[in-house]
Amino acid sequence: MAIRVQAEDFDVGAELAALSDGNPSVGGVASFVGLVRDIAGGDAVSAMTLEHYPGMTERQLAAIEAEARARWPLDGVLIIHRHGRLLPGDRIVLAACASAHRAAAFEACWFLMDWLKTKAPFWKQEETPAGARWVAAKREDDQAAERWYKRTP
């Protein structure tokens, strides 16, 4: 289980290396780093504050990791998500999957990002010239998450 929720930044190179260290059956590591953008909905964003629900956040991220491990043959999974006040260009999140097979690593990593976007209890508030505003959930994020639901007969 490798879920971390923290205010501090993280070292992407060290984290990715640790996912395969000592396990030479890993053929590849797919990852995604999410960053704070300086523009949203056409408005300049000078900072972003991430609120979260301590306890539930870790619980939901762990459930998403468990689901990924059940669906794909993974040698390692890592999710690090920051909270607190961040500036444009700052890292927000790292999701990474190590596998013997590159398709499994890519799919599982993309799945982690799509599901955590709609399931992990974080809320973004942006600072713009017009004042602070809460980010609204995006319909495209719901659709991206729904791609991964298993069809039941």
Which conformational region is residue 55 in: left (phi greater than 0), alpha (psi within -120 to 50 degrees), or beta? left
**Interaction with another protein in 53-82: which residues (CB under 8 A)?**
53, 55-56, 59-60, 81
* CA pair distance 61, 103, nearest whole angstrom: 22
Q: Which two tokens stand for residue 152?
A: 């039941």
Among 30, 68, 78, 92, binds another protein (CB under 8 A): 92
* CA pair distance 64, 145, nearest whole angstrom: 12
Q: Which residues would be at the binding site for another protein (CB under 8 A)?
A: 34, 50-53, 55-56, 59-60, 81, 92-93, 113, 116-125, 134-138, 141
Q: Which residues would be at the binding site for a second copy (CB under 8 A)?
A: 11-14, 16-17, 20-21, 23-39, 88-89, 100, 102-103, 105-106, 109-110, 113, 144
